[in-house]
A and B are shown apart, each in its own frame.
Chain A
Amino acid sequence: MKYLAAIVLALPLVLFVSACGQREEVTRFKQGTYQGKPDTPPYQSAPFNGDKGAWERQLATRAQSQNEYKRTN
């Protein structure tokens, strides 16, 4: 009888505690912080290989091709 009472008392306790060992199965998102894969700056890879200055000069030159007043005059 004592054993039965102990089991009856222990069972809810075990079930109650078992939830504590449960691991989180969903990703916890932190609002306002990018959660995806990291990206590299556009000048990091070839052909610029990290030369930010060269990349900026190239883009500045390229941008001026949109200015037809400079192209024609």
Chain B
Amino acid sequence: MARMKFLCDAERCIECNGCVTACKQEHDIPWGVNRRRVVTINDGVPGERSISVACMHCSDAPCMAVCPVDCFYRDEVGVVLHDKDLCIGCGYCFYACPFGAPQFPQQGAFGVRGKMDKCTFCAGGPEPDGSPAEFAKYGRNRLSEGKLPACAEMCSTKALLAGDGDVIAEIYRNRSTVRAARGTRSGPPWGWDSAYGGGQPAPGGKS
């Protein structure tokens, strides 16, 4: 078993936020905390691209390096998790993370930081698998049920892939090869044509 990874195909993401909704629903995440979000660049202009971002479960995670209480660990399949009982909510991990993955609830008086919350790759945390304590602190443990993260499994265009890095890389490679083989006009294996086939719709809505 290799490492668990996410891969987002920017050619396919349609910014529907289905992944964000699936995540919030699956783990009963409180208002104000977003373990996953969709980032769009060049919004509303030609060349617009969206990508779904959450914890990337880095192989050399900066959050792990900066945590003053060492509450982070990497499990057997490469998922970066943390112990909320140990977290002091200092926010160092938030400053260190290049993806803005760590989230902090702001529900207390005076807006104090709570325990850090982040994407768990639907792998729960250091509590008995499937226990109420695990759900309350870390959300559902789908990985122990033999399922993949809810965000990727719910993705309608299959832009977001999750699973064993080798397997999803192979799926993406296969997809790129099929796109390239379509040979639409002189188009390269990316862009609207290669992702969906046919011509790109005109601004009026007709292609």
Interface residues of A (CB under 8 A from B): 27, 29-48, 52, 55-56, 58-60, 62-69
Contacts and interface: CB of A to CB of B under 8 A. Distances in A.
Contacts of A46: 130
Given A42-B141, A44-B129, A66-B158, A35 B75 contact: no
Contact of A36 (B86, B147, B161, B168): B86
A11 B150 CA distance: 68
List of 9 A-B pairs having minimum Cβ-Cβ separation, nearest first: A36-B83, A58-B146, A63-B163, A45-B129, A34-B73, A37-B126, A39-B126, A42-B143, A42-B144
Interface of B: 1, 68-73, 75-77, 81-83, 85-86, 123, 125-130, 141, 143-148, 152-153, 158, 161-164, 167-168, 171, 174-175, 178
A33 B127 CA distance: 19
Nearest to B87: A36
A32 B147 CA distance: 31
Contacts of B68: 29
B13 to A, nearest CB: 14
Nearest to A27: B69
Given A35-B86, A63-B167, 11 more contacts: A32-B70, A34-B70, A35-B69, A42-B141, A42-B143, A59-B146, A62-B148, A62-B153, A64-B167, A66-B162, A66-B168
B144 to A, nearest CB: 4
A67 B70 CA distance: 38
A33 B145 contact: no
Contacts of A35: 69-71, 83, 86
A66 B167 CA distance: 10
Q: Which secondary structure dominates where chain A touches chain B?
A: loop
Nearest to A40: B129
B196 to A, nearest CB: 12
B129 to A, nearest CB: 4
A30 B68 CA distance: 9
A29 B86 CA distance: 11
Contact of B164 (A29, A43, A59): A59
Contacts of B76: 41-42
B187 to A, nearest CB: 19
Given A32-B70, A36-B82, A36-B83, A63 B171 contact: yes
Nearest to A45: B129
27 contacts: A29-B68, A29-B69, A30-B70, A31-B70, A34-B70, A34-B71, A35-B70, A35-B71, A36-B85, A37-B85, A37-B127, A39-B81, A42-B76, A42-B143, A42-B144, A45-B144, A47-B145, A47-B146, A55-B146, A59-B143, A60-B164, A63-B148, A63-B168, A64-B167, A66-B162, A67-B174, A67-B175
